[in-house]
Amino acid sequence: MPSMVRNPLILKTLFKSEDVESYSSGFKRVYDECNSNGVNIDYIINREGFTFIFKRNVVNNVVNKELSEEERLVLGIIKKDPSTSAKKIGEIINKSERSIQRMLSDLKQKRIIERIGNTKGYWKINE
pLDDT in tens, the chain (127 residues): 455 666 778 877 877 887 666 656 677 777 788 888 778 888 787 776 677 787 765 444 545 567 888 998 999 999 999 999 999 999 999 999 999 999 999 999 988 999 998 878 899 988 6
Q: Which residues of 20-42 are buried (b: 16+ CB within 10 A; e: fewer)?
A: eeeeeeeeeebeeeeeeeeeeee
Give phi and psi for 76, each to the nearest 5. -60, -40
Q: Please say whether the beta carbons of 50 and 1 come within 8 A.
A: yes
The pLDDT of residue 59 is 45
CATH 1.10.10.10 in the chain is located at 59-125
Kindly calculate the radius of gyration of the chain based on its CA atoms and give it in whole angstroms. Answer: 21
Distance CA 104, CA 96 (A): 12
Tell me the pTM.
0.50
Return the CATH architecture of domain 59-125.
Answer: Orthogonal Bundle (1.10)
